[in-house]
Amino acid sequence: MTPVEEWERLLEASGELTSEAVDSVIATHGDRGADAIEAVGEKRVKQYRDFTVVVGHSEEYVIEGGCDCEDSRYNLDPSDPTQLCWHVIATKIARRIDAVDHHDMWYSEVREFL
């Protein structure tokens, strides 16, 4: 079992962000994990009809089979399943603990106002 699968299992078993799961996420992902946990706590993982979006500090990131942020493009090894940007980590956490903020609208319509 990979470290990511381990913390995913912990979250699925408890349905919440326990201290054991937090420790596992941070041990696996360091600052990226801490940023992801913060985003989940602040309800910045949003599900629209068409996309899941993570609200960053300066941009919104569409999570569609991964993330196209600069961290993912330039700093992470795509062949290593433990190397994930904090946007993807936040999405994985939020989905497993039912902490996704659902919006019954299309993101493309929301994006027009931003």
**Does 101 have pLDDT greater than 90?**
yes
Sheet holding 52-55, edge to edge: 60-63, 52-55, 45-47, 101-102
Q: What is the mean pLDDT of the chain?
A: 93
Please give the average per-residue pLDDT across 27-47, as a whole number.
97
Q: Specify the pLDDT at position 112.
A: 66
Enclosing domain of residue 32: 3-111
The tally of domains found in the chain comes to 1
**Does 91 have pLDDT greater than 90?**
yes
Confidence of residue 78 (pLDDT cuts 50, 70, 90): confident
Question: Does the pTM exceed 0.85?
Answer: yes
Q: Specify the pLDDT at position 113.
A: 62
**Does 114 have pLDDT greater than 60?**
no
